[in-house]
Every structure is written in structure tokens, then in C-alpha cells.
Structure 1
Amino acid sequence: MLERNLARRAPTVSPLASQSSVSVTPLDPQGRLAFRIKPAALAGRETVDGFGLSGSINSRTASGEGSGMRTALRLGPDEWMLITAADEVDERCEAISAALSGVAHSLVDVSHRDVSFSVEGPGADAVVNSGCPIDLSVKAFPAGSATRTILGKAEIVLQRLAADRFTVTTWRSFAPYVQGFLVEATRA
């Protein structure tokens, strides 16, 4: 019932044309888990269920390939966003909970909340930086970086996958605004 209700209320996010070498493309749905745990509680574990948790704050670690890829974004001292295939969320939740049995942690499925866009091409950093206050130069924000920030008036989670490729994730209700902002920035 919840899935049907969310589908009716979901904003329409479709590819919009841009007139530059930078493309803004909606990504397929992904499984997203908001994960909180005190680093001391990890007790030397570098991974949990294949998610790398040893990265520094504002980093991205990925393992596996294709639909089996697992990505961990370390967004704070005790906060990660875990990304997996949309159809594996329940399995990942069960496996993480089993691996951390008896250890205080929080694991919440927020897959329905977010929408992601790929921003790629020469000048992708300038497009994202048109509304993002952080320094997105390759030296300050290299590939493998991830952070929570803002784009215009919307909160986003930003990942740099390569010198000219980013993933911008925002709440579903802000998706049309964020997509429009990015597409407009490609025309500037």
C-alpha cells in the first residue's frame, strides 16, 4: 500500500534537454540506507556486509560491480549513506542487523525519499558549483569524495565519481527544482 501511495505522489522526473556538453540525467531508483553507529562500536571492522566503513569523513567507498555494487558515503563522524540495488534493500538490512547484533546502531531504509541525477561532461564541476558553495576543484574535492551540502535552496548529497562526473541526490520533493536548476546551469 505504501509503495502505491508513494508512486501516486512522486514528482515526474524525466530527461530534460540541455544545450551544452554537460548532461543532467535522472538515475534509476537505488536502495539507500541511513546508517548511524559510533566508530568505536565498529571495533576494528572495516566492512559490514560488503560496505566499506573505514573511509574518512566526506569520502565514498565502493565495492563490487554492476547490480552487486555496494557504496558507502561517510557523511559525518558516525553517519553513512549506504547505497545498494533497489531490490536488495531488505536483504542488506537483515545482513547488517545480523552482523551488528548486540551493537547499538541505527539503520533506516530511506530509498523512497531520494532521487539522484548524474551530472557529467566537461564543465560538470562548474554546473554543480553554480549553486553549491563548496570548492569543487579536483584538488579540493577529488574523485571519491562525498558530502552533504546545498544546491540553490535544496539540500543534496554530492558524490564525485570522476573529474567530470558527479551524482547529485536530493529529496524526492525537491527533485524537479534540483533538476531544473542543474539543467539551467548547463545553459549558462
Structure 2
Amino acid sequence: MLEVNLAKRAPAVFLAEQAGRGPIDIVLQPTMGRLSFRAKEAALEGRSEVSGLAVDGAINTRRENGDLAAMRLGPDEWMFLCDDGEVDNLAERIAEEMSGKAFSLVDVSHRDVTFEVSGAASDAVIASGSPLDLSLEAFPVGMATRTIFAKSDIVLARLSQTTWQVTCWRSFATYVQGYLADAAKDFAVA
């Protein structure tokens, strides 16, 4: 049965809409709908998608379908992204489509904050706090993974050669934004 938490929460932190300007932009993204989806292969029964969201393909990939995006973060774990106003409708459609199967679907929309980091040296700014190889060859466009940034868990996605999404828990957002802004200072025009 689908359980709905009707208590929408206001942001617990106050963040700058843009922390960096110039060669590196760090922009707070608008609130979006996020659903954490877990299902074993047997429950998916060979499906390539659930309610328009890709559930096939390689782990650590991000795939878009119009206003929807699916990030496959593990063998049975996805983060589904949608417009904030559509999260309840999407959750109901997924629950109906997966009815009778073993799965987990949790609305985590208000748990996370996303920053878009862009610019020619955006990979170097993120690498300042990440242990990953962020070269285009090792982390191509369309890749997404859960990792560590400084002392915070994040989900990192590469949207283009010079554009990234950094998603963290709301309680770590001030720290992550500050760390990104501080690292970006090294690339500021003097």
C-alpha cells in the first residue's frame, strides 16, 4: 500500500542562490521531486522502464525522458527525479504499476538539495573534495554515482562536459555549498 507523508517541510537552512560567479558557477537548483526506488530484478520482470523512468542499463548512469530522470545508483537502487508538483502523481503511477511486486518507493524530495556546478574548471572544483577520477574518460556525460565530497555523502551526476549536479542531504547543504565556493576561489579571475 502506498503511504503518503502529507507534512511538507520548509527548508531548514538558508542557502545562497548562487555561490560563485564567473569561471565557476555554483547555482542552487529549484526544489524537485525525488523518489528513492528499490526493486530486485525479479520484481521488475524484464521491464526497461517504470512509468517512463529507465530501470535498465548500467549502474551509475543517468537517463532522461522529458521532464523525468532516472539515476541507477546500485543493482536494485534508483533515484527518480521529476517536477516538484508531479511527485505525488508519479509515486501513485509507480505504485499502481508495481502493485503485487516487492519494491520500495520513498519520497525523499525534501531531504535533498542540489547544486549545479558549471564552468571550464568545474571538474577540478569538485575534485578538490572527491576521491573519484572526474576526467571525461573515467566519468563521462550521463554518469551518476553516490560518493563522498569532503565529509558529506553526495550523488554526483555529469550533465555535460563542464556541468555537474551535486546533490546532498539538506543538513549538509551549507557545508557543501561553502566548500564548493571556497574551492572555486582558486579559479577566480584576478
Taking structure 1 as the reference length, the TM-score comes to: 0.93
Cα distance in 2 for partners of 1:10, 1:147 equals 25
- Superposed CA RMSD in Å reads 1.2
- Counterpart pick for 1:55 among 52, 57, 62: 57
Q: Secondary structure at the match of 1:35?
A: strand
More helix by share: 1
Q: Which residue of 2 aligns with 1:168?
A: 166
**What are the within-5 Å matches in structure 2 for residues 1-20 of structure 1?**
2-3=7-8, 6-7=9-10, 10-18=12-20, 20=22
Quote the offset at 1:148 in angstroms: 0.2
Percent identity reads 49
Cα distance in 1 for partners of 2:98, 2:21 equals 49
Q: Which residue of 1 aligns with 2:149?
A: 151
Q: Secondary structure at the match of 1:107?
A: strand
Aligned residues: 181
**111 and 17 in structure 1: CA distance in 2 versus 1, 3 angstrom threshold:** closer
Task: Give 5+ residue unaligned stretches, structure 1.
Answer: none
Show CA shifts across 1:14-69 (max 9, x none).
234436401000000000000000023211110111101112100001101xxxx1
- Say whether the 8 Å CA contact 1:16–1:183 is kept in structure 2: no
Q: Secondary structure at the match of 1:112?
A: coil
Give the AA of the match of 2:7.
L
Give the AA of the match of 2:184.
T
Cα distance in 2 for partners of 1:117, 1:16 equals 9
Q: Secondary structure at the match of 2:20?
A: coil
Show CA shifts across 1:144-179 (max 9, x none).
000000110000000000010000000001000000
- Counterpart pick for 1:26 among 25, 28, 46: 28
- Say whether the 8 Å CA contact 1:56–1:74 is kept in structure 2: yes
- Say whether the 8 Å CA contact 1:146–1:158 is kept in structure 2: yes
Q: Which residue of 2 aligns with 1:83?
A: 81
**What are the within-5 Å matches in structure 2 for residues 124-143 of structure 1?**
124-143=122-141
- Say whether the 8 Å CA contact 2:18–2:28 is kept in structure 1: no
Taking structure 2 as the reference length, the TM-score comes to: 0.92
Compare 48-57 and 105-114 and name the one that shifted more.
48-57
Give the AA of the match of 1:95.
R
